[in-house]
Amino acid sequence: MLYAIRYILHVLRHTIDLNRRRITSNVQRITLPVLMILLVSCEVPTEVYDNPLDEEAAEEEGIDTPALVFFPDKFEVTAGSSISVQLYALEVTEVAGAHIQLAYDKSLVSVNLINAGDFFSSSSGPVFVYVDDPESGILDIYTSFLGSDSATVSGTGNIATLVLGTTTSGESTISYTDQSELVDRHDNPLELKGLGQGEINAQ
């Protein structure tokens, strides 16, 4: 008798639960779309134009042209992974060669690979020499244009591509030093108004 009563109660509870779920399910079917309509507002995101190669955006960041910048200039990576960063000349005029000196945090970043970019490329190929001093965290790149049609290049272009390794987690920067310069055909230094900076966040 007791067992029968318990069985009946169990069935009743199950039935009530089912109905509650059914009712809840139906209510959810009706209310959720209504709530979504009501609650999801038409948000307008803030306009953010921060491509480092965007001259206007660079000026807003305090980097006037002609300038040397990194592309991209922000990295969010896991510690131990590699990142590829390009060194760009931004809106330069009649450049025959460049000496680029980079400073990086040797405790967090290492230089794994350096390749020449296509800004100074020609049929003869660019002159491209680099010296990396991991002890001091300084990288020097020397490159020049050897074009047959002209002696200089102008505009925006990729001077070099670096592959950096992140050794540990942390935040660090990579930047152009004041020793960086662009020269004309006569090896006279050209005015550089802006030097960009790259931010690396390794988690």
Residues lying near other proteins in the complex (CB under 8 A)? 41-45, 47-51, 53-56, 71-72, 86, 88, 91, 155-156, 158
Closer residue to other proteins, CB minimum distance, 120 or 132: 120
What is the identity of the amino acid at 22? R
Closer residue to other proteins, CB minimum distance, 43 or 187: 43
Closer residue to other proteins, CB minimum distance, 63 or 108: 63
Q: Tokens 């990194």 sit at which residue?
A: 70
Closer residue to other proteins, CB minimum distance, 88 or 104: 88
Q: How far is the CB of 54 from other proteins (least distance, A)?
A: 5
List, as one string, the DSSP characters of 123-173.
TT--EEEEEEETTTTEEEEEEE---SS-S-EEEEEEEEEEEEEE-SSEEEE
Contact 165, 159 (CB under 8 A): no
Q: How far is the CB of 49 from other proteins (least distance, A)?
A: 6
Q: How far is the CB of 134 from other proteins (least distance, A)?
A: 29
Whether cis (ω within 30° of 0) applies to the bond prior to 72 is yes
Q: How far is the CB of 58 from other proteins (least distance, A)?
A: 11
Closer residue to other proteins, CB minimum distance, 21 or 74: 74
Closer residue to other proteins, CB minimum distance, 86 or 180: 86
List, as one string, the DSSP characters of 39-102.
H-----PPP----TT-HHHHHHTT-PSSEEEEES-EEEE-TT-EEEEEEEEEEEEEE-EEEEEE
Q: How far is the CB of 120 from other proteins (least distance, A)?
A: 16
Q: Rounded distance, CA 20 to CA 35, Å?
A: 21
What SS3 state is found at 107? coil
Q: How far is the CB of 186 from other proteins (least distance, A)?
A: 27
